[in-house]
Amino acid sequence: MSSEFTWNWLLPGDLAIGSHPQTDRDWQLLRQAGITAVFNCCFVEEDRHLPPVPAAWGWRSLRCPLPDHRAQVPLSEEALKRSLEALCDLYASSGSLYVHCWAGQERSVLMGIGLLALQQRLTIFQALDQAKRQHPPARPLFGQLALLEQVLSGPYAREETD
């Protein structure tokens, strides 16, 4: 695993995705960019030795752990729905949101694609294309994209977009 901090805007000034900040300086870079809220897709075991979101800044922060390619258990539809709902709520109530996982390649990208699809009424493929153009390290898992497409095409999508 690389310790390089990488992130990019999906929606400039509004929604960013990337890797877990590794140092206090990384958090400071996000603060200088205008980030005011954080959605963390990592399990506690993954990032317990890294600096957390600085509490003094008053940022809204939410952790919704999702499995990545290393997981023994696949992502469930229920976990994806729950995380997507929490992400949409945080996005709606925050200023500028940063979504991260460990490497900024799978889970944060998946959540960014889901949010783009819902907010901009894009297909999964359109949102994936936008994510890959804005964030070149994007490598979401095919199975998780298929599950996201299933979630967004079901009753959940109609509730969110009507």
pLDDT for 50: 87
pLDDT for 1: 39
Q: Where are the domains of the chain?
A: 9-155
Q: Which helix (H) or strand (E) holds 97?
A: strand 97-100
pLDDT for 95: 84
DSSP structure string for 42-82: S-HHHHTTS----GGGT-EEEE-----TT-SSPPPHHHHHH
Please give the Cα distance from 162 to 154 (Å, whole number). 13
pTM for this predicted structure: 0.91
Tell me the per-residue pLDDT of 79-133, one tens digit each, with 9 for 90 and over: 999 999 999 999 999 889 999 999 999 999 999 999 999 999 999 999 999 999 9
Tell me the per-residue pLDDT of 58-91, one tens digit each, with 9 for 90 and over: 899 999 999 999 877 889 999 999 999 999 999 9
Report the pLDDT averaged over residues 32-58.
91
Q: For residue 3, is pLDDT > 70?
A: no
Please give the Cα distance from 160 to 110 (Å, whole number). 18
The CATH T-level fold of domain 9-155 is Protein-Tyrosine Phosphatase; Chain A (3.90.190)
